[in-house]
Structure 1
Amino acid sequence: MPTGVALRDVREQLLDAAERILLRDGPNALTSRAVTTEAGCAKGVLHRHFADFDAFLAELVRNHVARLDGQAADLRERAGTGTVAGNLTGALTDLFGSVSLAIVGLITARDELRATLRRTGTTGVPVLAEATAMVSAYLAAERDLHRIAPEADTDTLALMLIGGGHLLFAGRDGTAPGADTIHKVVSTAIADVTRFDR
């Protein structure tokens, strides 16, 4: 990058570059040098905008978690439409077929990143915790619409679905499970609460 040329939205460029590296090469390839190279800027730029690399990574996680709010709103709006299993299959595919899976891997691989996130009040495993809340809220909305049993424990079902979804997608080297496989797991998890007299 030529000297004296201002980088437009440099923080966003760095964060976007980090996501591309995560998706392409995985968490172990994510270094400050790799990020600045991918973003096309000088090595010192990242440290001018963030206290250290873990602060940068924490911002990456927080930015991604904030984007999950949109996915949560979309899923809640689907309540009462389509099938419950179909809506959940789509939600798990959207969630784990994106950079979310790589970010979870990054969080679990870096002790200092987890410590940085905890210092800012984060609890649980970011992305997984928010995804669980998203699914639980959707299931509660479906329960209110009488599409699942009134006694359904939406929090426990959400934990099962997010845990199962994570296991289905993790460790596949970029090859997502088929829609039929995901749908089977979802249908099995919610079978007891979708079979009842309305």
Structure 2
Amino acid sequence: MPTGVHIRDVREQLFDAAERILLRDGPHALTSRAVTAEAGCAKGVLHRHFADFDGFLAELVLDRIGRIEDQGVNLREAAGTGTVAGNLTDALTAVFESVAVAIVGLVTFRDDLRARLRQARPGGGVPVLGEATTAIASYLTAERDRGRIAAGADVDTLAPTLIGAAHLLFADRESGPPEAETVRKVVTTVLAGAKQEPPRDT
């Protein structure tokens, strides 16, 4: 009987392999055989740990969602430090330089996966993007409470606007990721009416 640590190691090995395939070849190339080959595992390993391939993919998406939620906690704790634009630039880059964009494509590509995620995520929304939006909104609320953005700032509009704009920047995999300054320019533009920084930071 494998230990719990061993099971976690195998899961993470398979998840990392699936992520590499997604980023390199796109969702159409993601099969159980491709994942085990990429991970250097025997063909039956995946099905020993997951009921079926869509179950594996659902667990992959939920695992990556968990990482974004952890990043959201760290972002909220950063409120009041650094600059608002800098914090958001770093946070958006961390989300979209990961597998986030590819996961959105994967969920769009597989009907059964969408159905499983709807069951696992009662709140609905686009997986990964929904959680990232919630994290950004929570951070903006914390900064608004500290007076670093305007008291009247509509964080429920600003957050999805930032996520949507960043998603477009990072979606073009052919050209590579945007420069940090490009992401920062989008952030400062979206927050222009929200008094994003003290004068010394503009």
TM over 0.5: yes
Question: In structure 2, do the counterparts of structure 1 residues 112 and 195 end up closer, same or farther at CA, with 3 Å as the change threshold?
Answer: closer
Give aligned-pair identity as a percent: 64
Q: How many residues align?
A: 193
State the partner residue of 2:190: 189
CA RMSD of aligned residues (A): 2.2
2:47 corresponds to which letter in structure 1? Answer: H
Question: In structure 2, do the counterparts of structure 1 residues 143 and 40 end up closer, same or farther at CA, with 3 Å as the change threshold?
Answer: same
SS at match of 1:43: coil
Q: In the alignment, does 2:181 pair up with 1:155? A: no
CA deviation profile, 1:96-153 (whole Å, cap 9, x unmatched): 0111222122112222211111122341111000000000000000000001111111
2:152 corresponds to which letter in structure 1? Answer: E
CA deviation profile, 1:65-110 (whole Å, cap 9, x unmatched): 1111221122112211222111111111111011122212211222
CA contact (8 A) 1:85 1:183 kept: yes
Pairing 1:24-35 to 2, within 5 Å after superposition: 24-35=24-35
* Cα displacement (A) at 1:28: 1.8
- Superposition TM-score, scaled by structure 1 size: 0.90
1:177 corresponds to which letter in structure 2? Answer: P
1:72 corresponds to which letter in structure 2? Answer: G
Question: In structure 2, do the counterparts of structure 1 residues 79 and 196 end up closer, same or farther at CA, with 3 Å as the change threshold?
Answer: closer
Pairing 1:127-142 to 2, within 5 Å after superposition: 127-142=128-143
Q: In the alignment, does 2:189 pair up with 1:178? A: no
State the partner residue of 1:117: 117
Q: Which runs of 5+ in 1 are unaligned?
A: none
State the partner residue of 2:98: 98
CA deviation profile, 1:159-182 (whole Å, cap 9, x unmatched): 100011101110233601112211
CA deviation profile, 1:40-85 (whole Å, cap 9, x unmatched): 2222221222121111000000000111122112211221122211
d(CA) in 1 for partners of 2:83, 2:149: 11
SS at match of 2:81: coil
